[in-house]
Amino acid sequence: MMDIEHLNNTITICRKCSRLVEYRESVARTKKRAFQDWEYWGKPVPAFGDFQGRLLVIGLAPGPHGSNRTGRMFTGDSSGVFLFSALYKAGFASQPESYKQDDGMKLYNMLISAVCRCVPPDNKPSRSEIKNCLPYLVHEIELMPNLQGFIALGRIAFENILSIYRTNGVEIPQLKFKHGALFELGEGLPWLLASYHPSRQNTQTGRLTVSMFDLIWECAARSLK
């Protein structure tokens, strides 16, 4: 099994998916007007946080001008603003805002990762791209000796967590994604908590409110042993 440093290095040099390589590098070259003075990361993004933690938070993929710019999960865009504010209130983050890798942000008892590590066009990775990337998440799970629970941010994260275990022969009944639902995956396995993704599409339309999101992290904290 790869150690953390080897895994992170392997992720950041990955070029398995030609469409994603082309897109992430194109975004990094053209940039957004507000970030013209930034040197974009423009590479796959490794997990961020504490591998000794008991919680693993899983999103979909980097945002074009968020993680693809900063090189750190959920850092630099509106989704990250919404997420880290909630984590800070719940005691899982050292500060309420996260804008760049060297801003001093620390996570407590938690690792943040994603199904895909490269920004996909229109935020829609293909099935083959997800399949190429999922082994990285499997390695991260294996490297978390104290893991007790998953928080799936969005349906795709939810479904792929289940897929990882089912592919390994674990019999898990059909579970339906529902915001706020907490599922037991089986004896000796981490539990799974489902949440809407804190995307702008969800937060600006009111599908996911601040209070709804705060309840997710309160539930996660209560569920730890």
Over residues 150-156, mean pLDDT: 98
DSSP three-state, residue 90? helix
Query: Does the structure show a pLDDT above 80 at 111?
Result: yes
pLDDT computed for residue 32 by the predictor: 94
Beta carbons within 8 Å of 39's beta carbon, 6+ residues apart: none
Residue 78 pLDDT > 80, yes or no? yes
> In what helix (H) or strand (E) does residue 113 lie, and over which residues does it extend?
strand 110-114
Mean per-residue pLDDT over the chain, rounded? 97
Amino acid present at 73: M
* DSSP string over 133-201: HHHHHHHHHHT-TT--EEEEESHHHHHHHHHHHHHTT---------TT-EEE-STTS-EEEEE----HH
Complete domains list, the chain, with CATH: 4-223 (3.40.470.10)
List, for residues 22-47, the tens digit of each pLDDT value. Answer: 999 999 999 999 999 999 999 999 99
Cβ(69)–Cβ(99) below 8 Å: no
Residue 2, pLDDT > 90, answer: no
pLDDT value, residue 1: 72
Evaluate if residue 67 carries a pLDDT over 80.
Answer: yes
pLDDT, tens only, 11-25:
999 999 999 999 999
Q: How far is CA 97 from CA 43, 55, 77, 80, 110, in A?
A: 23, 20, 10, 8, 16
The pLDDT of 92-97, averaged and rounded, is 97
pLDDT band, very low/low/confident/very high, at 193 (cuts 50, 70, 90): very high
Q: What percentage of the chain reaches a pLDDT higher than 90?
A: 98
Band (pLDDT 50/70/90 cuts) for residue 80 is very high
What is the per-residue pLDDT across 161-181, written as a single tens digit (0 to 9) for each? 999 999 999 999 899 999 999
pLDDT in the model for residue 210: 98
